[in-house]
Structure 1
Amino acid sequence: MTIKAVLFDFSGTLFRLEHDPSWLADLTDHRGETFDVEARAELMRRMTAPVTLSVDLDDEHLHAWHHRDLDPALHRTVYLEVLRQSGIPHRQQAESLYGRLVDPASWTPYPDTAEVLRRVSGAGLAVGVLSNIAFDIRPAFAALGLDRHVDDFVLSYEVGAIKPDPAVFRLALDRLGVAPGNALMVGDSEEADGGARALGCAFALVEPSPTAKRTDGLLTALREHSVL
């Protein structure tokens, strides 16, 4: 297989929403008490878990959960409910925390993200970012000057399809002008990103570890597939 294009997931692959203590410092529960370290860590996990539902939802919010990456309004609705059930009863606090989640400036690139995008693009390969997401992530790349190394962004809320639906992978490949057998999908979810294999793409799994711990995961994945 000759790789002519690399598709990258966003969250947990190229960037990660890291725990900034200042975001949670003033949060209080229904008793007016601040959250301890473990509770804060759990809040961050619930905000960033890609597929795991950690609270019980009624039918309305369950619908929003399953369609959250197709509609920004549904995304906001269900995450505010998740935060409410996670012990943040004050709407203003929940909205402030949610605002961090959907702010591209809040996301931290992995240490090897810039190098990988530059090298893959510089080698003449097509580069795509394919994400199940409900907000525009392009500013995160533009702020670091990395947008020039990405040929196309395929974001679920813009195209009306989410991974692992084969249609969204096919759309990304069509935009890049590359056949599935000549593409590599890199992502942190076996379930969602691994769906690219149904079309005949190669797939590389990376762990969505904190950025300080996963310093060369992308480089390693691409080397294992002889891309770099």
Structure 2
Amino acid sequence: MIKAVFFDLDNTLCASDTAWNIAVRDTFQILRQHYPDVSKAFLLRTWESVLQELFQGLDGGKCSMAEVRDLRFYRLFEKLNLSQDKLTEELSNSLCQRYIASLRLYEDVEVLDRLYAFHVGIITNGAHDEHTDSQFSKVRNFGLSKRIQSLTISDEIGVRKPNAEIFKIACDRAGVLPREAIMVGDSIQNDIVGANKIDMTSVLIDRNSDAVTTEIAVEQPDYTIPNLYDVLRCLKQD
């Protein structure tokens, strides 16, 4: 019997990729106003390289998401051989502010209000501090804290999805066994693999019908749904 429903945050409850792309585009326009000789294509390639290196450290447990956030523009300027000045801080602030300003909850998030018979929680990778764009701040500022009973964030726990430990901790906080819980997320690698490791019911939300083609399908979800409303259907079947 299912007693708890857990959701991922980014690209599951809120349209994070869209907001991120807007924020990066606008912030890089500021950078290129100061350094017009840096081509847009080279800038984007270097940026992706910086993020890849930082996230490798993140996945390896060598740094937190908060540290990644603070380091990314310093590392970018190093790779571009640009002087470290106040601009790095300005760009970092711009990225965060523009990201949050562009971020929107999906309309179907209202389904959380229909799950009153279940423990509703969020399990997410990201920062746990008071910074504007941390997971903690997003949950609070978007009013999600009123719709959930628990919030489990990787920086707080010290392990990231798909590590089974973060899912176990979330279940313990809810007072349920893993087999009594559902995990809903957009990432096969992070959400489905992690949930399957401890026998949670795994639900892949595939809003654009491309999750399986954009990720290596190393695991299969128990259910695949196009929107959050179909979580209710999954609960009836389980």
TM-score by length of 1: 0.70
Among 140, 144, 153, which residue is 2:151 paired with? Answer: 153
Q: What CA deviation, in whole Å up to 9, does each residue of 1:154-190 have, x standing for no partner?
A: 1111111111111110000000011111111111111
Q: Where do 1:57-206 residues align within 5 Å?
A: 62-63=56-57, 66-67=60-61, 70=64, 72-77=66-71, 79-80=72-73, 83-84=76-77, 89=82, 92-99=86-93, 102=96, 105-106=100-101, 107-113=103-109, 115-120=110-115, 122=116, 124-135=117-128, 136-194=134-192, 195-206=194-205
Bigger Cα displacement from structure 2, 172-181 vs 24-33: 24-33
Cα distance change on mapping 1:169 and 1:88 into 2, 3 Å: farther
2:49 is paired with a residue of what secondary structure? coil
- Cα distance in structure 2, aligned partners of 1:25 and 1:118: 40
RMSD of aligned alpha carbons: 3.8
2:223 matched residue in structure 1:
none
- Indicate the residue corresponding to 1:32 in structure 2: 36
- Give 4+ residue runs of structure 1 displaced > 6 Å after superposition: 56-61, 85-88
Give 5+ residue unaligned stretches, structure 2.
Answer: 129-133, 209-225
Alignment check: 8 A CA contact 1:65 1:74 kept? no
- Higher fraction of helix: 2
Aligned-pair identity in percent equals 24
Write the deviation string for residues 27-64 of structure 1: whole angstroms up to 9, x where unpaired. 3078515876x889x68xx6xxxxxxx41789898535
Helix, strand or coil at the partner of 1:15: coil
Q: Equivalent residue for 2:234?
A: 225
Bigger relative contact order (CA 8 A; separation at least 6)? 1
Aligned to 1:7: 6
Contact 2:73 2:91 in 1 (8 A): no
Segments of 5+ residues of structure 1 without an aligned counterpart are 47-53, 210-215
- TM-score, normalised to structure 2, is 0.68
The one-letter code of the counterpart of 1:137 is Q
Q: Give 1:110's aligned amino acid.
A: Y
